Amino acid sequence: MSFTLIHQDKTTQARLGKLKTAHGEIDTPCFMPVGTQGTVKTLSPGELVEAGAQIILSNAYHLFLRPGMEVIKKAGGLHKFMSWDKPILTDSGGYQIFSLALLRKLTDQGVEFQSHIDGNRHFLTPEDVVGIQQGLGADIIMPLDECVHYPCSRDHAEIAMKRTLNWARRSQAVFKNERQLLFGIVQGSTYEDLRRECAQRIVDMDFDGYAIGGVSVGEPSNLIYNTIELVSPLLPQDKPRYLMGVGLPEDILEAVERGMDMFDCVVPTRYGRNGTVFTSEGKFTIRNAPYIEDFSSLDKDCACYTCKNFSRAYLRHLFNTNEILGLRLACLHNVHFYIALMSKIREAVVQDRFGEFKQEFLDSYNKCV
């Protein structure tokens, strides 16, 4: 299991790479559809494969609470439980613990929290979180970290950053699995000195890959881009770089330009379930009146099942009559759109024209955004 840097665009920091895992190879830059609870909402594994998904993301916090580790272990691991034979990355659940748990108490030892599902209390250490993800059998696992919201005081951000480093060391000390990869996470909020310190110390620990966490937590886009621009050059060239929880197509393009390789976000399926679709000419809400008699496809440049078979008028009808098929077709299209975008990005990088591609895409995309 390894990462190979294949090519770097001549005029930007955009990179083409290949990440080998126990369940297959991943071409980067890549987008990971989010299957928080062991499923990408509304879509089957077969539909994800047909859309071109190389890897999906699941969440250790949610799976630990439901259905629980015993069920998944008895099923033979997460891959078999959800019938997905390609790579899986599991997030530690740190963000969910801090944002969803009813009550929580953080110490340097770990985190005590009350389940948002049934109110039961749990205490997890960084070592526990590694053990949970090893039990799930994910290909790439993330250590427990402390993610702070924006805005955040410098003192709070520094405490969280140092705790993240401490937990990273402890996670690495108990991680012993040749079939899994463990990534380190860079925290530090919007404070450049904290981000720089965290990146340097995490890199010194020599993880299999590196993630930028604590972004897209309420801060404006320019601060997200500044963080990427600061941290990305501090990360090793020969390791994958993962931007956690980002984002919209324009955010992904900006991050790729700054040297990031891996992305995840709930946007394609969350927006799809609410009737918003992404197209080469921007995103729009299919529920709206202008599409009552619009018999064109969602996107003339898209070859997904939805676009090949159904009109905007039909999808509007499905949403306005609360038919479940509407949600599925919109989500399928959005996931296909994101994965196709990553394929086009990789093609542009290998041709040394990423900057041109980015501008062409945005010129078209901004027509109706």
User: Is 9 in contact with 15 (CB distance < 8 Å)?
Assistant: yes
Query: What pLDDT score does 285 carry?
Result: 98
DSSP tally for the chain: helices H, then strands E: 15, 16
Dig out the tokens for 78 from the structure: 């997460």
Other beta carbons within 10 Å of 284:
18
> Is the whole model's pTM more than 0.95, yes or no?
yes
Instruction: Kindly list the strands in the beta sheet with 30-33, ordered across the sheet, starting from the edge strand earlier in the chain.
Output: 30-33, 262-265, 241-243, 209-212, 181-186, 140-141, 88-91, 56-59
Cα–Cα dist 160/12, whole Å = 32
Q: Which two tokens stand for residue 230?
A: 């600061």
Active site residue 91: yes
Give the contacts of 102 (CB within 8 A, at least 6 positions apart): 113, 114, 115, 116, 119
pLDDT value for 63: 97
Active site residue 264: yes
Q: Given 91, 139, 208, 261, which residue is catalytic?
A: 91
How far are the Cα atoms of 13, 239, 250 from residue 234, in angstroms, in the given order?
13, 11, 23
- The torsion defined by the Cα of 203, 145, 249 and 316, in degrees rounded to 10, comes to 160
Helix (H) or strand (E) holding 29: none
Q: Exposed (0-12), middle (13-18) or buried (19+): which is 100, by Cβ within 10 Å?
A: middle
- Which phi and psi angles does 231 have, rounded to 5°? -80, -40
How far, in Å, CA of 295 to CA of 274, rounded? 21
Q: Got the DSSP string for 245-264?
A: T---HHHHHHHHHTT--EEE
Looking at residue 242, what is its pLDDT? 98
**Number of C-alpha atoms within 13 angstroms, CB side, residue 88?**
28
Burial of 291 (C-beta count, 10 Å sphere; 0-12/13-18/19+): buried
First-last CA distance in the chain: 41
Angle, CA 250 vertex, CA 248 and CA 256 arms, to 5°: 100
Would you write out the chain's pLDDT as a tens digit for each of its 369 residues?
Answer: 799 999 999 999 999 999 999 999 999 999 999 999 999 999 999 999 999 999 999 999 999 999 999 999 999 999 999 999 999 999 998 888 778 767 888 899 999 988 888 989 999 999 999 999 999 999 999 999 999 989 999 999 999 999 999 999 999 999 988 899 999 999 999 999 999 999 999 999 999 999 999 999 999 999 999 999 999 999 999 999 999 999 899 999 999 999 999 999 999 999 999 999 999 999 999 999 999 999 999 999 999 999 999 999 999 999 999 999 999 999 999 999 999 999 999 999 999 999 999 999 999 999 865
Can you give the pLDDT at residue 177? 87
With the C-alpha atoms ordered 165, 15, 134, 264, is the resulting torsion angle positive or negative?
A: positive
In the chain, the domains with their CATH numbers are 3-265 (3.20.20.105), 267-369 (no CATH)
Helix, strand, or coil (residue 307): helix
Q: How many CB atoms lie within 10 A of CB 119?
A: 9
Residue 368 is predicted with a pLDDT of 67
The catalytic residue among 139, 208, 264, 299 is 264
Q: Residue 240's CB: how many other CB atoms inside 10 A?
A: 28
For position 101, what pLDDT does the model report? 65
Classify residue 78 as exposed, middle or buried by CB count within 10 Å of its CB (0-12, 13-18, 19+): buried
DSSP 70-81: HHHHHTTSHHHH
Q: Give the whole-angstrom CA distance, residue 151 versus residue 153.
A: 7
Helix (H) or strand (E) holding 235: none
Question: What integer pLDDT is reported at residue 293 of this predicted model?
Answer: 98
- Say if CB 276 and CB 283 are below 8 A apart: yes
Triad 280, 285, 291: Cα angle to 5°: 90
